[in-house]
Amino acid sequence: MKLKLRPSLCLIVSALAINGAIAQPSRTPSASDWKAKFAYDYNVGNYRTAIADADALERIHALDGETAVVTAQAYYKAADYGGCAKYIREHFDVPKPDNALWGDKPAIGKLLERCQKS
């Protein structure tokens, strides 16, 4: 009796490819990949993971101002108030409240105040 291996082999290879068992060439995540992951993690409430995503963006020099503001909010929502204040002081030029320039950055300044009070 003659066995037919070819169709069976095709099915096995197809099943492996569908299930991701065949090794794929590695690809480094791009800045847009990290930003999408950051937005997803923040939106579903994974604030610690979003902070780590922002750190990855910063390491590849892709952290923009808007993402930095949301990262500061992630620290606050994760109840890491000390980390929130430290992050804001390191990433933003926030003048002291008695400075006349305080009005230029009201949102981040108010978040800094909340982090310091909590």
CATH number, domain with residue 58: 1.25.40
pLDDT score of 41 more than 60: yes
Is residue 109 assigned to a domain?
Answer: yes
pLDDT score of 1 more than 60: no
How many domains is the chain built from? 1
Is residue 24 assigned to a domain?
Answer: no
Tokens of 114: 């909340």
Spatial separation of the C-alpha atoms in residues 47 and 58, rounded to whole Å: 16
Is residue 16 assigned to a domain?
Answer: no
Is residue 1 assigned to a domain?
Answer: no
Give the pLDDT band (50/70/90) at residue 30: confident
* Structural domain boundaries enclosing 77: 29-117
Average pLDDT over residues 67-92: 95
Average pLDDT over residues 53-57: 95
Is residue 49 assigned to a domain?
Answer: yes
Is residue 13 assigned to a domain?
Answer: no
Is residue 8 assigned to a domain?
Answer: no
